C-alpha cells in the first residue's frame, strides 16, 4: 500500500525532498516547511555512483545545514574529510557544497 510520509509530522515541520521541483509545487507546502534539492543531479555531477546508480545521501546531508541551525556545512565537510580521502572525499565535499547552495526552502 501507500505509505503516508507525512504521518506524525507536526504542523510547520520540515520536509526535505530530492526533487527538481520548487517547494511551493507541493500541495502540502502551506502546512509544512518544504525544502527541495536535486540530490540526484548533484550526485550525477560529482560521480557519486554505485553500480551506475546515483547515491544521494551526501547531497541530502549537504542541504541540511541550510534548513536547520544545528549543524554547519563546515562541520559536515570535516567529518567527510575524516571518513574518506582523495578524490572520493573531494567529490563528496563538493556535492555537499552544491546542495547547500542549491536547496530551496518555502
Domain membership flag for residue 29: no
User: In 3-state terms, what secondary structure has residue 38?
Assistant: coil
Domain membership flag for residue 27: no
Render pLDDT for 41-61 as a digit per residue (tens, 0 to 9): 999 999 999 999 999 999 999
Domain membership flag for residue 32: no
Predicted structure pTM score: 0.92
Domain membership flag for residue 42: yes
Domain membership flag for residue 7: no
Domain membership flag for residue 72: yes
Q: What domain range includes position 64?
A: 37-105
- Rounded to 5 degrees, φ, ψ at 77 are -65, -35
Cα-Cα-Cα-Cα dihedral sign, residues 81, 86, 83, 76: positive
Domain count for the chain, please give it: 1
Domain membership flag for residue 70: yes
Render pLDDT for 1-53 as a digit per residue (tens, 0 to 9): 788 988 999 988 999 999 999 999 999 888 899 999 999 999 999 999 999 99
Render pLDDT for 54-95 as a digit per residue (tens, 0 to 9): 999 999 999 999 999 899 999 999 999 999 999 999 999 999
Amino acid at each position: 500500500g501507500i505509505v503516508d510520509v507525512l504521518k506524525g509530522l507536526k504542523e510547520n515541520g520540515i520536509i526535505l525532498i530530492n526533487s527538481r521541483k520548487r517547494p511551493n509545487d507541493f500541495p502540502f507546502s502551506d502546512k509544512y516547511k518544504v525544502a527541495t534539492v536535486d540530490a540526484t543531479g548533484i550526485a550525477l555531477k560529482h560521480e557519486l555512483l554505485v553500480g551506475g546508480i546515483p547515491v544521494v545521501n551526501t547531497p541530502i546531508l549537504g542541504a541540511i545545514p541550510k534548513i536547520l541551525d544545528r549543524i554547519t556545512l563546515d562541520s559536515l565537510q570535516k567529518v567527510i574529510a575524516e571518513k574518506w580521502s582523495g578524490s572520493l572525499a573531494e567529490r563528496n565535499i563538493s556535492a555537499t557544497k552544491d546542495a547547500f547552495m542549491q536547496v530551496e526552502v518555502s
